Amino acid sequence: MRIHFWTADVAGSGMYRGVMSAMSLDWLGHTTSAGVRLPDDWREQGYDVVVGCRVAKAGPSRTWRAMKDHGIRLVMDLDDDYLHLDPANTVAYRLWSDPAVRRGLLDNIALSDTVTCCSEPLAAVLREHHGDVRVVPNGLPAQYLGEVRDYNPKQLSVGWAGTSSTVNELPGVVRALNRIADYRRPGGVVVRLVGIDPQAAMRCGLKGKRLGALGWVENFGHYLQAVSAFDVWVAPYRDIPFNSAKYPTKWLESSMLGIPLIASDVEPYRQVIRHGENGFLVRHDHEWSRYLKQLVDDPGLRQRIGMAARAEASGSILQALNRQWEAALQAPVEAIGR
C-alpha cells in the first residue's frame, strides 16, 4: 500500500500517530510518508490510503471530501477525545467547541472508511459516530529498551513532562514536589519539568533552587533524551472524562526507559499499573509525598519497579504494533470485491 499520514502537528501527537506509525509500516514493505502538509499534487501521488489526524477545519475538510471522491481510502485518526474537551484548557476548548469545527470533525468521521484511535475508552466514544473504529496503541522503537540506567546516582531527579495544554494537571502534585526538593539526602533531589518554562512552573506554585524547567522541546528525540534523565516520574491527572479517554503515554515512555512511575489512579493508568509492582497509583493527594519518599529513599525499589515496568514494555514496541496498523488500513475483502 502507498500510505500518507496527514498529521495535525509536529509534536508528540504527530510523532506517535504519524511519523512512527509510518516508519513501522515501512518495515512491512509499504510505501509511506508523513507530514503536516498534504502535497499539492496529492492526486498524482497514487495514495491508496490517507490517514488524517483530527481533520476538522473548513479547508482540510474540503480536501478530505475531494480525496474521497478521488477513490482514496480515508482513515480518520484521533488521539484524544475532542468531543469532550476540558474547559480548563481554554485554547483547545474554544477551538473544538466552535460549532463549525465540531460539525466538520463529525462530518469527516462519518465520511471516513475507518476510524483509528489509541485507547478503548476513546473508541467507545467514537463508536457512537462510526461503525468501524479500530484501536491501535502508541509505541516506541525497541532501541529504548536497551538503554542502560543508573538506579543509584548521587543526585536524584524527580520529573514531570507535559505541555501548556496539560499544565492544568500539575497543581495536584506541586506540594509533594516542593517537599521532595527540600528533602535532605546525600546529593539532594532536584525537580525537573519538561515541556513548560520556569514562569509557568512558578505560576503553578513550584519554587526553590532545586527546580529546573526545560521548556518546550520541539525535537521528539531530544524530548526522550530529556525525560530519560528522570530517576522517578510523576504523572498527575484529574479524574475527568477527557483524561479517562487518553492513552497512558507517560507509562509508555517511562516503562520503555525503565523509570519508576507514580501516576494518578485514573482509567488509562489503572489499566497498566499494578500498584506496588510495576508502579504506584495515587488516589489521594497526600499519597504523592509518601510514594515519592519511598522511591527516593530506596534505590533497590526504584530498580525493581523500573525493571518490572520495562519487562512489560516489549509489547509496546513499534515492531509489535505495525501489523495492527496494517490491518486497520487495509480495505475489507468484501469492499475490494465490489
pLDDT 10s digits, 241-289? 999 999 999 999 999 999 999 999 999 999 999 999 999 999 999 999 9
Query: Which CATH number is 105's domain given?
Result: 3.40.50.2000
Q: Are residues 250 and 156 in the same domain?
A: yes
Q: What is the pLDDT of residue 336?
A: 43
Q: Are residues 226 and 82 in the same domain?
A: no
Task: In whole angstroms, give the CA distance from residue 3 to residue 32.
Answer: 5
Q: Which domain holds residue 253?
A: 142-316
The percent of residues above 90 in pLDDT, for the chain, comes to 79
- The Cα angle at residue 18 between residues 14 and 21, in degrees rounded to 5: 135
Mean pLDDT of the chain: 93
Q: What is the pLDDT of residue 218?
A: 79
Handedness of CA 73, 319, 324, 218 (dihedral sign): negative
Tally of domains in the chain = 2
Q: Are residues 161 and 127 in the same domain?
A: no
Q: What is the pLDDT of residue 240?
A: 93
Task: In whole angstroms, give the CA distance from residue 68 to residue 64.
Answer: 6
Beta strands in 207-322 (DSSP E): 211-213, 232-235, 261-264, 280-282
Mean pLDDT of 172-181: 93
Mean pLDDT of 280-307: 96
Q: Are residues 98 and 80 in the same domain?
A: yes
Q: Rg of the chain over CA atoms, in angstroms?
A: 21
Residues 6+ apart with CB under 8 A from 8: 14, 36, 53, 54
Q: Are residues 247 and 285 in the same domain?
A: yes
Mean pLDDT of 140-169: 92
What is residue 9's three-state secondary structure?
Answer: coil
Do 301 and 294 meet the contact criterion of CB atoms below 8 Å apart?
yes
**Residue with C-alpha cell 499494578?**
274
* 167 or 130: which leads in pLDDT: 130
Q: Are residues 149 and 266 in the same domain?
A: yes
* pLDDT higher than threshold 60 for residue 37: yes
Instruction: Kindly state the cell numbers that stand for 63.
Output: 480536501
Tell me the residue length of the chain: 338
Residues 6+ apart with CB under 8 A from 113: 73, 74, 75, 132, 331, 335
Q: Are residues 161 and 82 in the same domain?
A: no
* pLDDT higher than threshold 70 for residue 338: no
Residues 6+ apart with CB under 8 A from 92: 85, 86, 165
* 172 or 50: which leads in pLDDT: 50
* pLDDT higher than threshold 50 for residue 105: yes
Q: b/e for 25-45, b at 16 or more Cβ within 10 A?
A: beeeebebbbeeebeeebeee
Q: Are residues 124 and 25 in the same domain?
A: yes
CA distances from 189 to 67, 87, 154, 295 (A): 54, 34, 9, 12
Q: Are residues 299 and 327 in the same domain?
A: no
Look at residues 279, 297, 257, 262 and name the one whose alpha carbon lies nearest to residue 172: 262
Longest dimension (CA), the chain: 71
Q: What is the pLDDT of residue 337?
A: 43
Task: In whole angstroms, give the CA distance from residue 215 to residue 200.
Answer: 9
Q: Are residues 175 and 280 in the same domain?
A: yes
Q: Are residues 176 and 325 in the same domain?
A: no
* pLDDT higher than threshold 60 for residue 304: yes
Q: What are phi and psi of 26, to 5 degrees?
A: -55, -40
Look at residues 13, 58, 68 and name the one whose alpha carbon lies nearest to residue 36: 13
Q: What is the pLDDT of residues 186-206, one digit of tens each?
A: 889 999 999 988 888 888 888
Instruction: Kindly state the cell numbers that stand for 193.
Output: 519539568
Q: Are residues 293 and 162 in the same domain?
A: yes
Mean pLDDT of 45-54: 96
